Structure 1
């Protein structure tokens, strides 16, 4: 079994290096040296709107499992039901290419102490322990059973970092300060505790996502004061949202009859809302707005926005002969009009890519900016 996984781990490290995701010898050694399969003994495979548990129970399935575990693939490892009974993933083992990119962006050095928010399977904590030594690695997650399982599996392969089951937004103050904080979950705004628990000059790497699940990774540096500032990375990564209650996995949104409502057309291609433009659009939409897609036989056919006040819109993703898109909308607010206004603003700014955006976090405000913290284009995060 050792030869089987080691050959696969080395092949994974070689692939990540060849693809330009992995550059440093220390992290290559970690990918080669950590037995990921010991931390992901089973996973869930999506089948439509449900998930099926996959376990290796014979030689053929074990070989397929090993191949997948040592591939560049995100693996869903825990699923629970929401208030409507729909299965929702709540834990995963992140794609290795994203994981190593984040670890290299974190710029850790020998002697650094790192707090990870989002233990998951423990694989990231294992990579950090391999690189720094387990006594310098701290990892937290919300669900006690998940943390206990990760601790047992990590100990079985020789790593004993400090693991705790706590609300990630509070960090782990008893072991602070940390030279680096890395979050493998997304937040709508940076928790103040993370800034306070980062040593001056330290770095925080986290996925910041707003109400439309639109955002990206931002790398913040803590100053001497409890202020942190930095730029969004120019490559994309996203994670499941940080939760504060293990029993709460979200509520189903109210159903709407999208066959009703007023009709008009728009020049804004709704497909653009799939990309970075959605990050800006969410600042112009009212709080409590959700973004979904209507899918027909696996193909998205309409982009939909729904607000808790009853407003909704549905925009066909195929243009008519004149190049315009059909909009159906109802409720107290025309949500697509907000998107159109945001699109005009985005176009005026030159359709900026991620690396032009930054974030400043102070004890009283969190502000996204374009090009410069003192520039004319700024937006407030909801804290």
Structure 2
């Protein structure tokens, strides 16, 4: 047994101990290090350190059950940002298990990245059953070369994942390894009835989770997975994503106080439910000792990061919608409902674009319409 095979067996042991077992053979057989020739680690000051196959500890790090940043890009403002990563293997396997894959299934992956997930799929199902797209042309080319070197040949293309891949439809499964603010109906049209779509739905940063949807004749419908996970947002262009910085005057607006954590993703379900009352994607940033949120319609809120002696933080809000009030209202509703976790929430998507989140069952009468 080679060094990488021993490490891969250890990785499989680690993933299996966390409850995922069906993909052990793929984890042991597919060399992750081939797909991660380098990775980057960010430091507290914002800088990055690169580790490559020439560095001690590289291979050992690659076979740990953790995500690895594999591609950076520079924004027009000069910031280096992540544009691709190798997902934590344990999360990959949990998602693949949630897909309930069987021999003969045709799978479309949205977000090729390094190609490692496509390799796991091809190992299990056969290359001819696996299709994968990514907006990054260089990522797709590198993934194809790595896969070819291992004798694997899934069909890859550099294209926008929200469009799916109608030329190769229908698929039995679609899996997205990036987050999206809405589930594209184009995917529903490309999945056979009874098929599944697994996607990280996030209308705003951290506001959402993985949801497994079944294709019915008139809708996609299913439940959120019980454990929270997060992926990088889908990109519209093969370039560094735009840096969203709230541009508001924090000396204006109305004043109030809150006892809630100023970072609402510390309370993930209410933050997600609050999106139903907010006018589109919420941008987030820091301004000194304040957390600042804003939306494209001019709504904004700033919350002090440090509480005063009574445990309260100052809140200022302005614009058409009071963002922080919407979050506090969602928090109260969540408390009144008994603080349901993700596994009690479900989603129905219809051809008109409606995204209806429901509690316990579609007909329960308790739900939220995402905007």
Say yes or no: TM over 0.5.
yes
- 2:235 matched to 1:237? no
Contact 1:212/1:282 (<8 A) preserved: no
Q: Distance in 2 between matches of 1:34 and 1:105?
A: 20
1:140: Cα distance to partner? 0.8
Q: 1:266 matched to which residue of 2?
A: 258
Q: 2:34 matched to which residue of 1?
A: 38
1:28: Cα distance to partner? 0.3
Contact 1:212/1:278 (<8 A) preserved: no
1:52: Cα distance to partner? 3.3
Q: Distance in 2 between matches of 1:344 and 1:277?
A: 9
Contact 2:299/2:321 (<8 A) preserved: yes
Contact 2:279/2:297 (<8 A) preserved: no
Q: 2:3 matched to which residue of 1?
A: 4
Q: 1:298 matched to which residue of 2?
A: none
1:54: Cα distance to partner? 2.3
Q: What are the within-5 Å matches in structure 2 for residues 80-91 of structure 1?
A: 80-91=73-84
- 2:245 matched to 1:246? no
1:17: Cα distance to partner? 1.0
Contact 2:258/2:314 (<8 A) preserved: yes
Q: Distance in 1 between matches of 2:333 and 2:366?
A: 10
Q: Distance in 2 between matches of 1:328 and 1:68?
A: 44
Structure 2 vs 1, CA of residues 304 and 254 (structure 1 numbering), >3 Å: closer, same or farther? closer
- 2:331 matched to 1:343? yes
1:121 is paired with a residue of what secondary structure?
A: coil
1:67 is paired with a residue of what secondary structure?
A: helix
2:57 is paired with a residue of what secondary structure?
A: helix
1:49 is paired with a residue of what secondary structure?
A: coil
Q: 2:12 matched to which residue of 1?
A: 13
Q: Which moved more, 1:153-162 or 1:45-54?
A: 45-54
Q: Which moved more, 1:365-374 or 1:95-104?
A: 365-374
Contact 2:38/2:51 (<8 A) preserved: yes
Contact 2:105/2:125 (<8 A) preserved: yes
2:238 is paired with a residue of what secondary structure?
A: coil
- 2:65 matched to 1:72? yes
Contact 2:136/2:158 (<8 A) preserved: yes
Q: What are the within-5 Å matches in structure 2 for residues 1-383 of structure 1?
A: 3-20=2-19, 22-24=20-22, 27-47=23-43, 48-57=45-54, 61=55, 63-223=56-216, 225-247=217-239, 249-256=241-248, 258=250, 263-274=255-266, 275-292=268-285, 302-330=290-318, 333-364=321-352, 365-382=354-371
Residues 304-324 of structure 1 deviation map (CA, whole Å, 9 limit, x = unaligned): 322345443332344434343
TM-score (norm: length of structure 1): 0.89
Q: Distance in 2 between matches of 1:68 and 1:260?
A: 48
Q: Distance in 2 between matches of 1:252 and 1:326?
A: 23
Structure 2 vs 1, CA of residues 137 and 5 (structure 1 numbering), >3 Å: closer, same or farther? same
Q: Which moved more, 1:341-350 or 1:69-78?
A: 341-350
Q: Distance in 2 between matches of 1:221 and 1:288?
A: 26
Structure 1: any 5+ residue segments left out of the alignment?
296-300
Q: Distance in 2 between matches of 1:82 and 1:352?
A: 39
1:161: Cα distance to partner? 0.7
Q: Distance in 1 between matches of 2:286 and 2:263?
A: 10
Q: Give the CA RMSD over aligned residues.
A: 2.2
Residues 104-137 of structure 1 deviation map (CA, whole Å, 9 limit, x = unaligned): 1111111111111110000000001111111111
Structure 2 vs 1, CA of residues 264 and 317 (structure 1 numbering), >3 Å: closer, same or farther? same
Structure 2 vs 1, CA of residues 294 and 357 (structure 1 numbering), >3 Å: closer, same or farther? farther
1:212: Cα distance to partner? 3.6
Contact 2:114/2:139 (<8 A) preserved: yes
Residues 211-233 of structure 1 deviation map (CA, whole Å, 9 limit, x = unaligned): 2431100001112x142100001
Structure 2 vs 1, CA of residues 82 and 156 (structure 1 numbering), >3 Å: closer, same or farther? same
TM-score (norm: length of structure 2): 0.92
